[in-house]
Amino acid sequence: MKRAAMGMSLMCLAMLARAEMAVLDAEVLEASRAVEVPGAAASRIRFLVLHHKHAKDQARLSDWLRRHDGAQVEFRTQDGEAYAAVLHRLKHCFGRGLLFYSEPVDFKQKDVIEIRFEIRQ
C-alpha cells in the first residue's frame, strides 16, 4: 500500500510540474497526527489548517481557494522536501485552507511551508 501511495504522490507532483505554478508561503495554524482511514489506499492521512504567511499573499490565496477548492497542490517543508496534497477551502474561515496529505510529516503551530499551486483560468 505504501508503494501505491508513493506512486500516486509522484504522479501528482509530475502533473503539477508541467503547469504554470504560483508559489506562496503559508503558516500552519493547527496540524493533526496520523489518522487511520479504514479501506483507504493510504492507510493514514494527516491534515493541517493553514493561512497565508505574508499579508501580500492573503488575497491571492483566498481567491485561489474560492476557485479551486479540493485541488491537488504541492507543498515543501523548510528542508526543501516536496509532497503532494489536496487543499480545501474552509468556507467559514476566511482565507484558511485545509491541507490533506499522507506522508509522515509532522508540523506544529507557526511552522511555515511553501505551497505550489496550478494557475487555471
pLDDT at 38: 78
Residue count (the chain): 121
Q: Give strand pairing partners of 94.
A: none
Q: Which three cell numbers stand for residue 92?
A: 467559514
Q: Work out the angle at residue 5's Cα, subtended by the Cα atoms of residues 64 and 24, and round it to the nearest 5 degrees.
A: 25
Q: Among 8-17, 76-85, 112-121, which range has the highest average pLDDT?
A: 76-85
Enclosing domain of residue 67: 2-118
Residue 93 backbone phi and psi in degrees, to 5: -130, 90
For 6, the 3-state DSSP assignment is helix
CATH of the domain at 83: 2.40.10.190
Q: Is the pLDDT of residue 6 over 90?
A: no
pLDDT at 67: 86
Residue type, 56: K
What are the tens digits of pLDDT across the range 72-104?
Answer: 999 999 999 999 999 999 988 878 999 999 898
Residue 48 CA to its chain's centroid (Å)? 8
Q: What is the largest CA-CA distance in the chain?
A: 41
Of 2, 12, 11, the closest CA to residue 41 belongs to 2
For the chain, the domain total comes to 1
Q: What is the mean pLDDT of residues 9-35?
A: 75
pLDDT at 1: 46
